[in-house]
Amino acid sequence: MDTAKYISEGKAVIGIEFGSTRIKAVLTGEGFEPLAAGVHDWQNTFADGVWTYPLDEVKEGLRDCFADLMNNVEKQYGVKLTSAAGIGLSAMMHGYLVFDDKDEQLVPFRTWRNTITEKAADLLTEEFGFNVPQRWSIAHLYQAILNDEPHIDKIAFLTTLAGYVHFLLTGEKVIGIGDASGIFPIDPVGRIYDERMTERFDELTAGTRFTAKLLDILPGIVTVGECAGTLTEAGAKLLDPTGTFKAGVPLCPPEGDAQTGMAATNSITPKTGNVSAGTSIFSMIVLEKNLEKVHREIDIVTTPNSDPVAMVHCNNCTTDLDAWVKVFGGVLAKAGADMPKGKLYDMLYELAAEGDPDCGGIISYNYYAGEQVTELQSGKPLLFRRPDSPFTPANLFRSLVYSTVATLKLGMDILTEEEKVSLDRIYAHGGLFKTPVPSQGILAAALGTDVTLMKSAGEGGAWGIALLAAYMLREDKAQTLEGFLADCVFKDMDGSTVSPEASCVEGINAYMKDYKAGLAAEKAAAEA
């Protein structure tokens, strides 16, 4: 069908994702290809010791992003975007959003980036026999209870950012199972919150001012492929105050950015996985069987269709790298050689590719925030080197790129070396791979496996949640999500694959030896 007609007849599908630095909306076509996009840039705020996003900025960003999408559709195709066949919402997983019985927010949003729940996370891990990371919603809730915070007896609803925006648009307090698995441990067979653990949580909180039953405040889980509500009049007005975009559009279950990354890279079957790298970096490895032990460095979450996934999540990735790029750009500008941002990144990545495989002994810690994998409650970026290190621009920038994946490698080594998890291939996506050389090859060397960049990977989670919304609309209701992605979406899609190079593997292993030895210095700096 003609694309303009396809859009004007409301047959396209929309995916919206709230990332850490950008809100993005993607409109997809008849062959699931992206047709147009809208964006809104934003940043988290550090206020009163908490990383947060004010909910007014959530609403404002959603409106601005959607307006940008509508404007771009009209510019590109000459038609107005008035409706869609389906909508999907995604956002950063975890965090703490709580509301009272009048749906009034009780405390500022505490995002995944906070490392303020160590006591709660440790106690719940011991009680459940299941790793509960600090950023999980249940850890934030239990820490608030342990702290006897004034709001805990007023909590009527707890959700994630994706769940909250979905509620704004539909009035439904629901969640997809993947996002739910970052709130509380999941029973993947029953596709419900784990009953034994929910009962144990209620026992642990008995006698406190938190009098609610846990299941009464958590969002209901909706299975992938099912409708999770429809766009209300109020929701449509929030998306588009002009009234051009109409209510009544069905929405799929809201999901986390980890799950949309899996959908966007077709990595939802055992022995496959993906790495998403931006402000944070995380790997998602679909498991053939359960792990032998509980590892504090590894989370167990699920795919969008509830299969268990080992997740290594690191709070820090490109923030320090970006800061160094600004420094280099500032020097060039002062010298009268102002360079466009994209060209500057390309030049510095080219320099990194020329650096020594071990970076000449230059070690970089990119810790802006705390990091559970390395047991840091807070972070301070740190760069150090031996006096005889060849301190060249190439070695420096290669070290900065290594630092983006170093902490991830520590967690992944536990999976591959201790748990003997097999990997066929890793799919990579996110801002770190906008310039694939050398980051793609460095990731392949760090993980010891092939790394593939799909042509679609640049569209990210907004496209991934649009695919899940399209799956909700499939004609063959018996078709599995795996079959839908493999046969309908990715059947003819190309990608570029890089295998680990021996010299780079040796180099990054040497780098990691110094990196692990130097962690004591980073911990001392962070604590001082």
- Domain stops at, among 236, 255, 274: 255
Residue 254 CA neighbour count, 13 Å, CB half: 32
Tell the residue number behind the tokens 């990371």, with chain if given. Answer: 133
Query: Which DSSP symbol is given to 219?
Result: P
Q: Is the pLDDT of residue 455 over 80?
A: no
Residues 325 and 450 in one domain: yes
Cβ-contact 407, 374 below 8 angstroms: yes
Q: What's the CA gap between 354 and 453, in Å, rounded?
A: 22
- Beta bridge partner(s), residue 89: 16
The 10 Å Cβ neighbour count of residue 189 is 7
Query: Which domain, by its residues, includes 424?
Result: 265-455+514-528
Dihedrals phi, psi of 103, to nearest 5 degrees: 65, 30
Q: Which of the listed residues 255, 289, 317 is the one where a domain comes to its end?
A: 255
In this prediction, residue 459 has a pLDDT band, given cuts at 50, 70 and 90, of low
C-beta of residue 7 within 8 angstroms of C-beta of residue 35: yes
For the chain, report the end-to-end CA distance as a whole number of angstroms.
63
Question: Is residue 458 pLDDT above 70, yes or no?
Answer: no
What does the alpha-carbon distance between residue 421 and residue 414 come to, in Å, rounded to a whole number?
9
pLDDT band at residue 456 under the 50/70/90 scheme: low
Q: Is the pLDDT of residue 298 over 90?
A: yes
Q: What is the pLDDT of residue 125?
A: 97
What span, in angstroms and rounded, lies between the C-alpha atoms of 239 and 246?
A: 10
Q: With contact defined as beta carbons under 8 Å apart, do 35 and 482 qualify?
A: no
Residue 431 has pLDDT above 90, yes or no: no
Block residue for tokens 């160590």: 118
Nearest Cα neighbor of 368 from 416, 304, 334, 320 is 320
Q: Which tens digit of pLDDT belongs to each residue from 52-85?
A: 999 999 999 999 999 999 999 999 999 999 999 9
164, 352, 371, 447 from 504: Cα distances, Å: 44, 12, 25, 11
Same domain, 190 and 139: yes
Q: In total, how many domains does the chain have?
A: 2
pLDDT grade for 460, boundaries at 50, 70 and 90: confident
Q: List, for residues 111-169, the tens digit of each pLDDT value.
A: 998 989 999 999 999 999 999 999 999 999 999 999 999 999 999 999 999 999 999 99
State the CATH number of the domain containing residue 334: 3.30.420.40
Q: Looking at residue 453, what is its pLDDT? A: 86
pLDDT of residue 457: 56
Give dist(CA 301, CA 181) in Å, integer.
5
Q: Where are the beta strands (DSSP E) in 150-307?
A: 157-159, 174-176, 186-187, 192-193, 220-222, 255-256, 272-277, 281-286, 299-302
Residue 399 lies in a domain: yes
CA atoms of 73 and 66, how far apart (whole Å)? 11
pTM of the model: 0.85
Retrieve residue 133's tokens.
Answer: 């990371």
90 — pLDDT class (breaks 50, 70, 90): very high
CA–CA separation, 222 vs 297, rounded Å? 28
Same domain for 48 and 94, yes or no, is yes
Q: Which residues 6+ apart lie within 8 Å of 251 measured at CB?
A: 86, 87, 88, 89, 166, 169, 170, 227, 228, 229, 230, 231, 469
Q: Does one domain contain both 126 and 160? A: yes
Please state, in angstroms and as integers, the Cα–Cα distance from residue 423 to each residue in 23, 135, 210, 285, following that order. 32, 27, 43, 8
Query: Which residues does 171 contact at the CB level (< 8 Å), separation at least 6?
Result: 229, 232, 234, 235
Q: Which residues neighbour 114 within 8 Å (Cβ) at sequence distance 6 or greater?
A: 50, 51, 95, 134, 135, 140, 369
**DSSP secondary structure string for all residues of 439-470:** HHHHHHHHHTS-EEEETTGGGHHHHHHHHHHH
Mean pLDDT of the region 199-207 = 97
Assign 51 a pLDDT band (cuts: 50, 70, 90): very high
Query: Do residue 46 and residue 28 come from a single domain?
Result: yes
Residue-averaged pLDDT of the chain: 94
User: Are 196 and 315 in the same domain?
Assistant: no
Whether residue 438 is preceded by a cis peptide bond, meaning omega within 30 degrees of 0, is yes
Instruction: Let me know whether 274 and 251 are in one domain.
Output: no
Cα 410 from Cα 97, distance rounded (Å): 31
pLDDT beyond 80 at 454: no
Q: For the residues of 157-170, what is the DSSP string, one character each?
A: EEE-HHHHHHHHHH
Tell whether the model's pLDDT for residue 315 goes beyond 80. Answer: yes
Amino acid at 516: K
pLDDT digits (tens, 9 = 90+) for 232-283: 999 999 999 999 999 999 999 999 998 998 998 888 988 889 898 888 898 9
In a shared domain, residues 90 and 28: yes
| Same-domain check for residues 38 and 82 | yes
Please say if the pLDDT value at position 494 is more than 80: no
Task: Please check whether residues 417 and 319 belong to one and the same domain.
Answer: yes
Cα separation, 11 vs 232, in Å, equals 18
Nearest to 38 by CA among 62, 60, 3, 19: 62
Residues 392 and 444 in one domain: yes
Cβ-contact 369, 390 below 8 angstroms: no
Q: CB within 8 A of 113, min separation 6: which ones?
A: 20, 44, 51, 135, 280, 315, 369
Q: What is the DSSP letter of 295?
A: -
Same structural domain, 347 and 390: yes
Segment 361-417, tens digit of pLDDT = 999 999 998 898 998 888 899 999 999 999 999 999 999 999 999 999 999 999 999
DSSP secondary structure string for all residues of 102-122: T--B-S--B-TT----HHHHH
Percent of the chain with pLDDT over 70: 99
Judge whether 356 lies within some domain. yes
